[in-house]
Each structure stands twice: as C-alpha cells, then as structure tokens.
Amino acid sequence: MKKAQLVLVPSPGIGHLVPAIEFAKRLLDQDDSFLVTVLVIIRAPFGPDTDTSNQSVLTTIDTRIQYITLPTVTPPDLDPLRSPENYVTSFMEAHKPLVKDAVVNHVMSNKSSVPVVGLVVDLFCASMIDVANELGISSYVYFASSAAFLGLLLYLPTRQEQVGIEFKETDPDLIVSCFANPVPARVLPSALLNKDGGYTCFENLGRRFREAKGIVVNSYVELESHAVSSFLGGGTPPVYTVGPLLNVNGHSLMGSNSDRHGKIMEWLDDQPEKSVVFLCFGSIGRFREAQVKEIALGLEQSGHRFLWSVRKPPPEGHFALPSDYSNFEEVLPDGFLERTKNIGMVCGWAPQMQVLAHKAIKGFVSHCGWNSILESLWHGVPIVTWPMHAEQQINAFQMVEDLGIAVEMTLDYRMRSDNLVLADKIARSVKSAMEEDGEVRNKVKAMSEASRKAVMEGGSSFAALGDLIKDMLS
C-alpha cells in the first residue's frame, strides 16, 4: 500500500496535546498507510507543571507515532495575564523556523521516498500554515473544540469588515449561523471581550483558518448538526467532524499520582450506584477561598454524596497552573471535612475519564471545557455548567440553550472576576442534576449512544475521517 507522511503541530497543554495524539491514533487505526510525526513543544509558557503533564503524555506513546521534541524558544515579551490567547499564539509563531527545520531535516530527509501530504496545525498554531505553504504541503487545522465555536471564529473576520468594532458585554444578542439561538454577549469567550489583544488574536485566527485545505473538528454530527450544517453554504474549507476523540482506555495524564488516584477509585467503589456528584474544573480551573467555602456549604445543603477536586491557585499575578493543597483545611470551612466524612471525598487532581466511567457517578459539575463535555457525554453523565475561561462560557450556552443536554448553574462566570456563586444556588443545581431523571438525562443518554456509534465503522465520524483520508491522499 502506498505510504504517506503527516506532521501534527499541537499547542502545548494537555487539552491540546492529548486530542491531537488521539486524532493520530484514530487515523492510523482506520488507515495504516500513514506515517505520523507529532512535533512536541515541551517548554510550555505556563510553567513547569505543564512541562510535566506533556512529558506524562509522551510516556503513553503509541509506537506507530514518531515524536520530535522541538528546542526551546525565548517566550514573547508580552504580559500573559493581559491576553493569554495572544501570548500563546505569539509563542507558537516563534516556533515557525523550528517546525520548518524539523519537517525538512527530520521528516522529509529520513523517509524521502514517502511524500508529506499534510501539516496538521492546532488552533493556536495557524501561523504554521505559512510553513506548509513554503514547503508546498497542504495544511489542515485540527480544532480541538466545538464546531459551533469554530463557526464563531470563522464569522469574526466578516463581522469585523461589517462593523469594525470589538464586542462589549452590553451588546445586543448576536445572531451567528452556527448557533440555533441568539447569543448573549455576556457568554462570549473572554478573549472576544478583551481589548488587550484577545479579540484581534481570534479574528486573525478565523481569517487564517480559511486558508487551510480542510478543518478537522473534535465533534460529531449528531451532537452539533446545526453548527455543522452552517458550514455548507460555501466560503469555508471542508469541515470534517471526526470526534469524539478521547483517551477512553488510557490512564490519567497529569503526573504520577497513582496512589492518590487509587484511593479515589476505592472510595467510589464503596458508594451506591448513581449516587455521587463529581466536581472537577480542568487543568487551569481554580477558585478563590470565598468561592471554595460557598461550594462546600452548597454541597452540604444538597445532601448528596460528592467527589470534589479542589486545586490551589498560583500566586497572584503568576501565569501558571494550579497545584494540589497539602492541607485542605486551610481553605475549607471549619469542620467541613469531619461533617461530610461519610458522604464526601475532597481530593486534588482527579483522573477525570476514569471517574466519569464509574457506576457511582450520576452528575458532573464542570468548567465546560470541550474535552470534558465529550467525556461526560460518552459516559452519559449530565453536566452542571460552571464555565471559567477560554471558550467555556459559549460551550455552556450551547449545551443548555441550543442542545438542552446540561443543567444550568451559571453561563457567564469568569475565573478572574469578583462573581460569587452562592451556596443556595449550588445546592439547587446539584439537586436538579442528581434528582431529575427527565428530559436532560434522557437526552444525554441518547447522545452517549450516538457518540459511540459515530466512531464505529459505518458511523458519521468514521465516514468523515474516511473522506479526510481520501482528500489527504489525493
């Protein structure tokens, strides 16, 4: 069979690297004529914890994939707290010469008789399309978020030409074809409300995406039929929905906490079936102390069993990942751990995929990161929405308003805001998710079945990946 080479350039960070590797694995499962190389950026701009998580991912390597670790570059002279998206995009752009060198000297030269048919670049790596153009290679965007969010980014250049001004939270509801309902400005991604470069960054990304030969999305038609159909009017590169791409059978990819993770799973084993609400807010999510105390009080008021992942914020003004507390009592209300010892467990980083798969879990209070949404749907666990940053507010809006497959706690919470979600609201939302066996839970169950069928032979995502492979090999 004729061989072809493919090079992937993911952004640093576990939320980007893992889906990219899962895409490579899925591609090879479906067509083993590809030779896949992943260019890995270990020295990430988020501090040493991110480097550790990236290294952990690489310990789970698939021998069919070649990994090339790029040299370090000098971080951009920008304040990452003013616009994280602009900072990361600039950081990735600084890698263009290294990516070109790796492709020319380590991919093309080693297997010179096997053509490189595509450079697959991540959301924040759109500038790498220039490298593909210079080398005469087709470029594809790998979009690890929703089709609806992709549609919003593709809409931005058109809006900029028509209106020429940035968004404000007081703007009227937005009509965007990829969403079934008008979108309130308050649920737009933080970057689009950021006048320090975030809006311009995303508008430029949306413009660059249109230059690619195709866009690969970690979603499936059954979940986002409205958004996917909005791309059919022309003016957009072909969009291939090949998801959900999940590390279904893998182990936790955030450090070697096997002892603590074992204790979590043992505790879940002791709980009744479908009795536990799981609270987990991703690799970046964290709360100030006042909010942590409200969550604790809300859980007590709900009366439900809980597993709660609590992370410690980095020092004020630092652009870094949260860490685990050495003593939870320093942040929790007095006596909370003693009062809830028979119904709850407080932990640090948790192996989210394994927890969601456990029979004891019935509800999931989540930051609404796209990977977390796909994982919850895969396992049929309804989400209670608590978005925090990035595109999570628009994800939460879509899940609640457009699709009706999540319970609303909040849609517009911002991690760095002074908003405080009070205990009464938290308790009501948890009770709603845990006690309701109605429309939302039934829809989530149906979507779980659809997600599994989509990636099987004959499914919509299997077919879309086949179309993508044909396009690459042509």
Nearest to 126 by CA among 85, 159, 93: 93
Please say if 412 is a catalytic residue: no
Catalytic one of 122, 261, 304, 389: 122
With tokens 């022309």, the residue in question is 234
Which of 16, 95, 226, 304 is labelled catalytic? 16
| CA atoms of 98 and 111, how far apart (whole Å) | 19
Contact 18, 57 (CB under 8 A): yes
**Other CB atoms within 10 Å distance of the CB of residue 270:** 8
Closest CA to 306 of 282, 278, 281, 328: 278
Closest to 90 measured CA to CA, from 205, 187, 184: 205
Phi then psi for 318, rounded to 5 degrees? -100, 135
CB 331 within 8 A of CB 306: no
Contact between 144 and 20 (Cβ < 8 Å): yes
Instruction: Establish whether 226 is a catalytic residue.
Output: no
Q: Which sequence positions are flagged as catalytic?
A: 16, 122
